[in-house]
Amino acid sequence: MYYIDPHLHMVSRTTDDYETLAKMGCVAISEPAFWAGFDRGSAESFRDYFRQLTEVEPKRAAQYGIQHFTWLCINAKEAENVELSREVLKVIPEFLDCPNVLGIGEIGLNKNTRNEAIIFQEHMELAIAYEQQVLIHTPHLEDKYQGTRMILDMLGKHDIDRTRVLVDHVEEHTVGPVLEAGYWAGMTLYPVTKCTPARAVDIIERHGSDRLCVNSAGDWGPSKPTAVPDLVLEMRRRGHSESLIRKIVFDNPRQFFSQSKNFVLADPESRVGI
Amino acid sequence: MNSNQILDREFLEIRAKILEVAAALDRIQRAEGDVSSDSRMQLVADAITVIGTEQADAIRAEKIQLLFSREYDTKWLEGFEIASRT
């Protein structure tokens, strides 16, 4: 089955992973800007990172017939540095017309601090000013519930089209408020700290398949870039239809991304020459 | 899948996961030191109680998630003293 991984940090992965993803049916990925594992020292570091996301990764992915899309921001962790964040926010518009940029992301909260909230709102203003879609990171573990509710509070104060916003890393206790508020929701298949494939399928069975995506969020930490096919297998084992599985792993991300003018997905059935 | 089929499929996995939790708690107890007053141990005990309690609405996982979550303060924005950016 063809699928799209809507959240995968390929700058942290090897080229071998692109090959494995292609063999497993991945036809497109979207890569939000994120924390590199250390705090960067200047806005110029981010300019280089954005060049990597818009110039290097699309070429690396294309060698395996995978389309690469991306989202730009300063992540929630480094957003604690307000001065640096504001410099990075000035750089972002230079890249918004690059052909693989889908919007602003992954913005959000990390430890639910005042500075993170300030920069989250400034990212939202940028997204609104440039009519960009938004991809939102929600905090980890014990901070997730509080942080998700704070994000929904802040989003509710902006005049935005909620169907152009995806709130990511939802779990059992946060998926309901996100979907009920009219946003898209993403579930991340992480071995220990987020959803397992089985629990993600439980959430689909409980909340339905509309506005719900699933991703691996593979990065430099413990993660599995091929986690989406694990979910496909779990759905098949439970007897779900191929059409429902396809909706979750292909149709839904395609529908969400299609609201970005830069999202042009080649028909997987008509690809030749890879 | 009906409940019997799910139980058939999941029973050994459930058994294995419960054993993992039991063994981890044994490991903590056998080790030097005392964590009985550590609030995380109470969270674990409360979570185990949720697992073992019949739930009319089948939301054990959601309840455990909330158990392990910080409280949400609806007035958080006032505490931050930042202007609403609408």
Is B86 close to A142, i.e. CB distance below 8 A? Answer: no
Residue A92 in any domain: the answer is: yes
Count of structural domains within chain A: 1
Which pLDDT belongs to residue B16? Answer: 97
Which pLDDT belongs to residue A273? Answer: 65
Mutate to test the interface with A, among B51, B59, B70, B74 (most CBs of A within 10 A): B70
- How many beta-carbon pairs below 8 A join chains A and B? 57
Average pLDDT in the A46-74 region?
Answer: 98
Tell me the pLDDT of chain A averaged across its residues.
97
Average pLDDT in the A50-79 region?
Answer: 98
**Are A186 and A158 contacting, i.e. CB atoms less than 8 angstroms apart?**
no
- Residue B7 forms contact with A (CB below 8 Å): no
**Are A215 and A228 contacting, i.e. CB atoms less than 8 angstroms apart?**
yes
Q: The domain that contains A71 carries what CATH number? A: 3.20.20.140
Which pLDDT belongs to residue A144? Answer: 97
Positive or negative CA dihedral for B24, B27, B31, B37?
positive
Is A118 close to B82, i.e. CB distance below 8 A? Answer: yes
- Triad A10, A79, A102: Cα angle to 5°: 45
Residue A269 in any domain: the answer is: no
Average pLDDT in the B18-23 region?
Answer: 97
Per-residue model confidence as pLDDT tens digits over B55-69: 788 899 999 999 999
pLDDT band for position B84 (50/70/90)?
Answer: low
Helix or strand or coil: residue B3? helix
Average pLDDT in the A96-101 region?
Answer: 98
Domain that holds residue A246: 3-264
Which two tokens mark B43?
Answer: 């969270």
Shortest Cα distance from B61 to chain A (angstroms)?
7
Residue A273 in any domain: the answer is: no
pLDDT band for position A270 (50/70/90)?
Answer: confident
Structure-model confidence comparison of residues A9 and B83, the more confident one: A9
Which pLDDT belongs to residue A35? Answer: 97
pLDDT band for position B83 (50/70/90)?
Answer: low
Residue A274 in any domain: the answer is: no
pLDDT at B7 over 90: yes
Per-residue model confidence as pLDDT tens digits over A188-225: 999 788 899 999 999 999 999 999 999 999 999 999 99
pLDDT at A115 over 90: yes
Partner-chain residue, chosen from B9, B65, B80, that has the shortest CB–CB distance to A171: B65
Residues in chain B: 86
pLDDT band for position A271 (50/70/90)?
Answer: confident
Beta strand segments in chain A, E:
3-5, 26-32, 67-72, 101-108, 133-137, 165-167, 184-188, 212-215
Is B76 close to A202, i.e. CB distance below 8 A? Answer: no
Partner-chain residue, chosen from A117, A145, A202, that has the shortest CB–CB distance to B82: A117
Which pLDDT belongs to residue B74? Answer: 93
Average pLDDT in the B75-81 region?
Answer: 89
Angle of the A197-207 helix axis to the A227-237 helix axis, nearest 10: 60
Is A145 close to B84, i.e. CB distance below 8 A? Answer: no
Shortest Cα distance from A114 to chain B (angstroms)?
6
Which pLDDT belongs to residue B86? Answer: 54
Shortest Cα distance from A113 to chain B (angstroms)?
8
Residue A271 in any domain: the answer is: no
Which pLDDT belongs to residue B39? Answer: 97
Residue A242 in any domain: the answer is: yes
pLDDT band for position B82 (50/70/90)?
Answer: confident
Which pLDDT belongs to residue B85? Answer: 59
